[in-house]
A and B are shown apart, each in its own frame.
Chain A
């Protein structure tokens, strides 16, 4: 059994018990425990079920590489699936549940898959479930889906908050083991700005467990003195519980800080996502131990050798009473020594090497531990827990020599440097034959804008497994990163180790029946036989193998399995490992929460709503809003219980009969100013703007380079070198960017400035036959008569108590004044208009009334009549295209054959024969079908409304040669199978002579 030892445990505080639960069972651990150590202390070895076969799974590692120990953590709004037990710090009240089983962890029906595993080799689903076709969707797929997936889906909204930080440093050191500390120390001493981060709560990494001597001090002492030195440097910042998640171009590094996960639900942000810009990045991320591939290596109780000793040294937890150690290297002997010294039984060390003789080997022997050289494990016995191992000759085929009862197995297949962060942004690896590992290739680092490498790997992460070499390498890395010459760093003393021997399969000649039981990927259930099958079937590229078998695609992203799998593949293909290569390392290093990625920008802060000065009034007065760009505009103002439609119709009628107010503040207002402004606008608009006299307005069109109408609006000439360009509400930012694009990239020597003053003004359209009376009633002295301020002119002046700029423009066909006042006075002005207008029956109106009125008048709307494929000529707007100009954006495009084709769909009005409304988006059909069997069409509706003014359905549409076909009937099928017939008419349904707007 696994249990808490009477003494020991660097991290735990036995005076501070912590209560927690697992699958409803109440258990106790200590402050400083991880969930893994606390579970093991309570003899809870079984922690989950594997993905495919639902095999029982126990903790196999002690850190971020753990593939098995994943739990559903927390409840309700704090629930989170797939939490790794080895990195989850224990807190009082923690509630965990194991995953992927039914009905319970101990008795899982899904485990029948394991019995069927013979029929479910890698890629089985590609070869099955093909017939009958309908079964896939209704039977097979739902079954596969239900049995896949690990944790439960969260049900509630997240109660936690998250935030983003940005930081700029000279040197970012990732990893707070002794290498990271040494690198930070070197860089810190050089005086540059350093940020040192460590993903766990503890500094020093693995060193304190193995306790080498550093600079004559014990490892822990050296770590503490180094930390103190770093803390005293004002140019150095250090942080724990912060992981380097991803390295991106230009020295941008994503880091993930867990602020409250170790204390449970609490106020304040849970995670903090950092974007660190670093001149140099040092990855001192250490190494990960590799499992060995022997039959039954997935039985709970089989654990990485280093993890086993971590549990003893750091947490005072013994994983088993009798532990067999199996290894191909010296390091694992440390585990045997630690266990033995803690009073635990180590019946045997099984070493695949023929004649191990190193210092550690001698020490183990001296403690009386039996060492079996040249041997391997033929098979692990046990179901939900190891009961024994069968030994065999490593060189043989697995004939059992002896069975040794035990309840734990410590395995070590050597170490792999953590090269993920090095690799994210293009750093290349080289195969180290002696260490049987990939290590960063110093000649091919990720390069920055200057062509220099910006990432340095340091210490163990750089392939230096011996403490003294690692320290020297890391200290030098710190100096190089800081841009100073290399000097002498700390020195270390640790037992010398003999070379490891690569062992990719145990025993070497294992028969298929054993290979089918050798797990590579514990979570996804990928075995040696699966990789061999993939190779046999031609899935030879390492990416094919990965995808075919799902090797390395689990939540640990192959931290334990990739190299072992690769070696099996290379062996199957008869090609050396480096020529097979690795799969791509992608961010993040370990999974990071979506909440952290989204950050604070959620709910109300997700794309903040832009508000006009009158927004609050609209809210208080029944406005129904619609999103337009980032604004919300009133769609209609509903009054006591009326329907939206009734409100819209009332607003139209009232505006046509009396006077209406529209909050037009959202319209884009761009000031274009400078000696070349006229020339610039002549290029931007199809119209001639340079000749517009001061004081006048002109309706202008803008096209893309492809000639398509992209925006429209009224341009006013303010003075000799200043124009004010109105854009559509949704277009303001886009057009502003468009102008800047041309000015900055193409015409950078033109003397023009553009300023977006949209929010500086509140603008109100005062519309209707009584508009002038209303404004005149407010007083102020401005002459608003037809003579003083005719249609398409503007003037500055005072209206009531307000400084106003008044434009005589109309988008409704009515007498209309658009009045701009400083934004701060917008609400007061709006209220003054309402108060003064009471006697004239003034009412506000919304965007829908606006749309209807402009459609009645035959005015086009960007986004309705246009869709990015329409040229002004299609809309009868050729009059707005200057013939006098040499050029404008879109001119060349307008001359392309398809644009000048006489047979285009062109704008007309449509009047339904029965007075009904044509559905939005309907197409006009013609006879027959095209070569692809699609019904032929001859046009489509672009705007369609019930006109309250005319009391019937009216529409605008684009119809093939429409303007030449006045009076013809066209048919619009509806979705429901019926259709509606409409007559082609002029698009101007209302006041065609324009007497009202000009009046």
Chain B
């Protein structure tokens, strides 16, 4: 068992100049065989491993990562957490996730800085008002706490907002008081430390290049660090899901596109909520470091470059300067892009596959950071039992065949 993190541990270590801290996670070489292998040490992969161990006692597990853990979208996103989704299956898994976030720092003994500062989704057209009122009603029945608020309350919660933009005045908003943000890297690191602590092997710089099967069942993977056998394989690689599925011999309804984001230079606290303005297409929050964290739309074409492009930045910043006029005199410090895995209905896939023993978790697209704990929970259950539990039941890949979509673009244009 690792040394616990606490203020006392820090004080103790300070006395010896912090030379006594041990590794947060080990750096093992792969064993020849594991009960289960997870491909992808993003948040979802690590959370899957964690709950496999914690909830299902499965600990002979390896997590293989081609780069560095948390280096995919888990380390690139704008960290918005909310669960006021419209459709029942979505609300269930995102709310499960949000509630796990509430105690995640304590569960992992790693401060992931969950900050339930409140999320407001602005309504700027009559159609949006109706859409959010529908969500509010749905959420009430789903056990998700959310409320419709009037413009005055929006202004109280976010004094820097401009309610009377000449183009799209703010007509109200859907407010989730216990939504917010968390520190994205810490989520990955916290899970990694806990997994390593349970005896699982996190193997970085280990790219999976092939999947071996026998009689329609998985037997192992080929990697840049050699062949590794397994009984169960979880593919949790976001934007690279199609590539992995291809190795295993099946196809996934996923498209990969770049999503852009940027931050401003840090300023003293000026905004204590997260605001999403879907009509004009932009959202903003202020990080604990003081930067305005800004996101917008996805590029209109598919690619894998993980680079920023500029046209969306322009569109997003323009929209947000209208919404928060003061940011006009802030400066953009950095922009970047991440490759997001988009499904046709903008909802994830947590599913069995045509190959026995292979399970896939992907399609979180532009909004999967908030889902990390819940998704890991549901995926672990699926992998451990071989059948989905209620959280994952509707998110099968088969739904695209039968047409049973879980469409979240219904109430809001974007779904971060």
Q: Is B1 an interface residue (CB 8 A)?
A: no
Bound CA span A598–B393, Å: 44
Docked-complex contact B307 and A126, CB < 8 angstroms: no
Docked-complex contact B403 and A896, CB < 8 angstroms: yes
Bound CA span A975–B134, Å: 10
A254-B310, A896-B401 known; A128 vs B5 contact (CB < 8 Å)? yes
How many whole Å from A609's CB to the nearest CB in chain B?
A: 7
Bound CA span A529–B14, Å: 12
Bound CA span A959–B111, Å: 46
Q: Which one of A79, A126, A133, A974 contacts B103 once the chains associate, using CB atoms below 8 Å? A: A133
Q: Which one of B136, B403, B411 contacts A975 once the chains associate, using CB atoms below 8 Å? A: B136
Q: Is A136 an interface residue (CB 8 A)?
A: yes
8 Å CB contacts to A: which residues of B109-140?
109-117, 124-127, 129-138, 140
Bound CA span A445–B153, Å: 52
A150-B267, A153-B160, A706-B405 known; A599 vs B314 contact (CB < 8 Å)? yes
Residues of A close to B11: CB separation below 8 A: 119
Residues of A close to B75: CB separation below 8 A: 543, 547
Interface stretch, picked from B43-51, B227-235, B318-326, is B318-326
Residues of A close to B175: CB separation below 8 A: none
Docked-complex contact A126 and B127, CB < 8 angstroms: no
Q: Is A739 an interface residue (CB 8 A)?
A: no
Q: Is A827 an interface residue (CB 8 A)?
A: no
Name the residue on B nearest A79 (C-beta).
Answer: B329
Name the residue on B nearest A547 (C-beta).
Answer: B185
Q: Is A42 an interface residue (CB 8 A)?
A: no
Q: Which one of A149, A529, A555, A931 contacts B333 once the chains associate, using CB atoms below 8 Å? A: A555
Bound CA span A82–B291, Å: 12
Bound CA span A923–B399, Å: 24
Bound CA span A586–B147, Å: 39
Residues of A close to B404: CB separation below 8 A: 898
Interface residues on A, range: 35 or more
Bound CA span A248–B286, Å: 27
Docked-complex contact B18 and A533, CB < 8 angstroms: yes
Docked-complex contact A923 and B138, CB < 8 angstroms: yes
Interface stretch, picked from B163-171, B211-219, B240-248, B352-360, is B163-171
Q: Is A81 an interface residue (CB 8 A)?
A: yes
Docked-complex contact B6 and A130, CB < 8 angstroms: yes
Docked-complex contact B328 and A594, CB < 8 angstroms: yes
Per-residue 0/1 for A881-907: is the Cβ within 8 Å of any B Cβ (1 yes, 0 no)? 000000000000100111100000000
How many whole Å from B187's CB to the nearest CB in chain A?
A: 11
Docked-complex contact B111 and A126, CB < 8 angstroms: yes
8 Å CB contacts to B: which residues of A382-429?
424-426
Docked-complex contact A529 and B269, CB < 8 angstroms: no
Bound CA span A975–B137, Å: 6
Bound CA span A121–B268, Å: 22
Q: Which one of A155, A158, A591 contacts B328 once the chains associate, using CB atoms below 8 Å? A: A158
Q: Is B236 an interface residue (CB 8 A)?
A: no
Bound CA span A607–B215, Å: 58
Name the residue on A nearest B109 (C-beta).
Answer: A130
Residues of A close to B103: CB separation below 8 A: 133
A594-B264, A707-B403, A932-B88 known; A155 vs B25 contact (CB < 8 Å)? no
Residues of A close to B399: CB separation below 8 A: 898
Q: Is B385 an interface residue (CB 8 A)?
A: no
A136-B111, A146-B269 known; A128 vs B6 contact (CB < 8 Å)? yes
Bound CA span A136–B116, Å: 10
Q: Is A919 an interface residue (CB 8 A)?
A: yes
Interface stretch, picked from A351-359, A470-478, A835-843, A861-869, is A861-869
Per-residue 0/1 for B83-98: is the Cβ within 8 Å of any A Cβ (1 yes, 0 no)? 0000011011000000
A896-B401, A925-B141 known; A538 vs B27 contact (CB < 8 Å)? yes
Q: Which one of B24, B280, B326 contacts A539 once the chains associate, using CB atoms below 8 Å? A: B24
Bound CA span A553–B290, Å: 12
Residues of B close to A144: CB separation below 8 A: 288
Q: Is A626 an interface residue (CB 8 A)?
A: yes
Residues of A close to B25: CB separation below 8 A: 538
Docked-complex contact A150 and B290, CB < 8 angstroms: yes
Q: Is B273 an interface residue (CB 8 A)?
A: no
Docked-complex contact B140 and A249, CB < 8 angstroms: no
Interface stretch, picked from A57-65, A315-323, A787-795, A934-942, is A934-942
How many whole Å from B155's CB to the nearest CB in chain A?
A: 15
A127-B5, A141-B115, A148-B290 known; A591 vs B265 contact (CB < 8 Å)? yes
Most buried by B among A127, A151, A923, A925: A127
A626-B126, A707-B403, A940-B134 known; A128 vs B331 contact (CB < 8 Å)? no
Residues of A close to B393: CB separation below 8 A: 931
Name the residue on B nearest A976 (C-beta).
Answer: B140
Docked-complex contact A127 and B124, CB < 8 angstroms: no
A541-B204, A587-B335, A597-B332 known; A149 vs B290 contact (CB < 8 Å)? yes
Q: Is A593 an interface residue (CB 8 A)?
A: yes
Q: How many residues of B contact A (CB 8 A)?
A: 122
Bound CA span A707–B402, Å: 12
Docked-complex contact A923 and B402, CB < 8 angstroms: no
Q: Is A485 an interface residue (CB 8 A)?
A: no
Bound CA span A148–B286, Å: 11
Bound CA span A940–B131, Å: 12
Bound CA span A156–B265, Å: 18
Bound CA span A512–B410, Å: 58
Q: Is A125 an interface residue (CB 8 A)?
A: yes
Residues of B close to A604: CB separation below 8 A: 166
How many whole Å from B119's CB to the nearest CB in chain A?
A: 14
Bound CA span A897–B306, Å: 38
Name the residue on A nearest B319 (C-beta).
Answer: A606
Q: Which one of B112, B137, B326 contacts A157 once the chains associate, using CB atoms below 8 Å? A: B326
Q: Which one of B7, B140, B189, B333 contacts A591 once the chains associate, using CB atoms below 8 Å? A: B333
Residues of B close to A898: CB separation below 8 A: 399, 402-404
Docked-complex contact B134 and A148, CB < 8 angstroms: no
Q: Is A691 an interface residue (CB 8 A)?
A: no
Docked-complex contact A601 and B111, CB < 8 angstroms: no
Residues of B close to A150: CB separation below 8 A: 265-268, 290
Bound CA span A126–B405, Å: 39
Bound CA span A932–B407, Å: 18
Residues of B close to A125: CB separation below 8 A: 111, 113
Docked-complex contact B17 and A126, CB < 8 angstroms: no
Docked-complex contact A934 and B23, CB < 8 angstroms: no
Docked-complex contact A153 and B270, CB < 8 angstroms: yes
Name the residue on A nearest B336 (C-beta).
Answer: A586
Name the residue on A nearest B8 (C-beta).
Answer: A128
Q: Is B186 an interface residue (CB 8 A)?
A: yes
Q: Is A347 an interface residue (CB 8 A)?
A: no
Q: Is B250 an interface residue (CB 8 A)?
A: no
Most buried by A among B106, B168, B307, B329: B329
How many whole Å from A745's CB to the nearest CB in chain B?
A: 13
Q: Is A257 an interface residue (CB 8 A)?
A: no
Q: Is A145 an interface residue (CB 8 A)?
A: yes
Q: Is A442 an interface residue (CB 8 A)?
A: no
Q: Which one of B129, B166, B289, B403 contacts A897 once the chains associate, using CB atoms below 8 Å? A: B403
Q: Which one of A121, A426, A626, A896 contacts B402 once the chains associate, using CB atoms below 8 Å? A: A896
Q: List 14 other contacts, CB 8 Å, given A133-B106, A921-B133.
A: A121-B14, A126-B186, A127-B5, A127-B6, A130-B6, A130-B109, A424-B307, A425-B307, A594-B328, A597-B313, A597-B314, A606-B166, A707-B403, A937-B88
Closest 3 pairs (CB-CB, A-B): A149-B290, A921-B134, A931-B390
21 A-B contact pairs sorted by A residue (CB < 8 Å): A130-B109, A148-B289, A151-B265, A154-B329, A275-B310, A536-B19, A541-B67, A541-B71, A555-B266, A586-B336, A587-B308, A591-B264, A593-B328, A597-B313, A602-B318, A863-B127, A897-B403, A898-B403, A921-B134, A923-B138, A930-B88
Which B residues contact A (CB, under 8 angstroms)? 5-7, 9-11, 14, 17-19, 21-27, 67-68, 70-71, 75, 88-89, 91-92, 102-103, 105-106, 109-117, 124-127, 129-138, 140-143, 147-148, 160, 165-168, 183, 185-186, 189-190, 204, 264-270, 279-280, 286, 288-290, 305, 307-310, 313-314, 317-322, 325-336, 344, 390-391, 393, 399, 401-405, 407, 409-411
